[in-house]
Amino acid sequence: MTFPSAASRAAKRSPVWWPIWPVLWRTLSTARTSRSTAASWTSCREPHPRSPTWAVRAARRALSARDGTAAPPNSNSRHPRSALALPRNRRAYKLVSVCLITGTTHGIGFETARVVASRGMTVIMLNRDADRGKQAARKIREDTSNPQVANLQCDLARLRSVRHCAEAILRDHESVDILVNNAGIMNGSLEYSSDGIELTFAVNHLGPFLLTNLLMPALLNSEQARVVNIASSVHTLGRLNFKELNSTRYGTMRAYARSKLANVMCTLKLAEDYAHTSITANCIHPGVVATNLLPANRPLLRGGGKLVRRVMRTPAQSASAVAYLALSEELSNITGKYFSPTKRIRKPSRAARNRTAQAQLWSASEKLTGLA
């Protein structure tokens, strides 16, 4: 595979609005359903009032009752439910030890990290900007009273940075229970990473692909590990040319759709390859969200007006759906699925379901990232 010369890297900016209108129209049709489920999402965002040690104390009381011994002095006998039952708002969630989330300085990533941290879990935030990442981690620690929130520098555009990040995680943690590949960009013009790869494809696909594969030993050490990839309904517009993955023909939405198609394809491939292990892999379209991706699409926002604002979701709303994939016990055995913002399983595009193309993309990605 050959990379373009420096002279060919100057490309004209193409319109960013042309393929998004079909997606907005489909999203508008589900807006009513999205609003009807907002109440259930709100419960996911609220931190639980009790300490995580409540379940441990309940288990001790149950063991004491079984053995005929007295309950500990600090036990609370006012709860008539089974002593082994989790608190009401925790019943649907799995208490995990380590959760990794990329791109958490703002938007969906920040709100998802806040939800996970509010459940008392260890959260490691992976961000390119170390200073902004530390500020976000400090804010979440203050909001959730969870001291186990930290930031680790990881630039997904630089494969060397991804490798250093994975090495640090594997050195400090024997197992990883949740990996949320959230970080993404929508570049307004053609640019290349330091590794010579088109920047949108490098950040949105190859960086997360390498990170996930390098963390496989820790994911396999978990009793139940989950990989959650943030995709997009725009993947239905994506096309992949395996003979020229690093094409000089560039369009903002074309490049973004291609990277999101790669996300969905590799999610399905990962789920199939690890179907008989403790790892599940799913992806989700979070909806049209007001995040930092949108400055590249300001002409779209001006042209769309009320229509765009009508279908747009807040980062907190989308984060609750992402947290559902990461935490809900209902999905403990669900893998290889593509979810809508309303937490429903949808069928991805025919191109995404093509197993031959999945294998081709996986092989090409291994070569581009140095795994093969």
- Gap between the Cα atoms of 237 and 256, Å rounded: 10
Task: Identify the active-site residue in 256, 274, 324, 338.
Answer: 256
User: Is-catalytic flag, 338?
Assistant: no
> Is-contact 338 264, C-beta < 8 A?
yes
Q: What secondary structure does DSSP assign to 281-346, as a single string?
A: EEEE---SB-STTGGGGHHHHHHHTHHHHHH-B-HHHHHHHHHHHHHBGGGTT--SEEE-TTS-EE
56, 63, 76, 208 from 83: Cα distances, Å: 10, 9, 10, 41
- Gap between the Cα atoms of 247 and 244, Å rounded: 5
The β-bridge relationship of strands 98-102 and 122-127 is parallel
> Is-contact 363 54, C-beta < 8 A?
no
3-state SS, residue 151: strand
- Gap between the Cα atoms of 155 and 260, Å rounded: 19
**Residue 334 half-sphere exposure toward CB, CA atoms < 13 A:** 17
Instruction: Cite the active site residues.
Output: 256
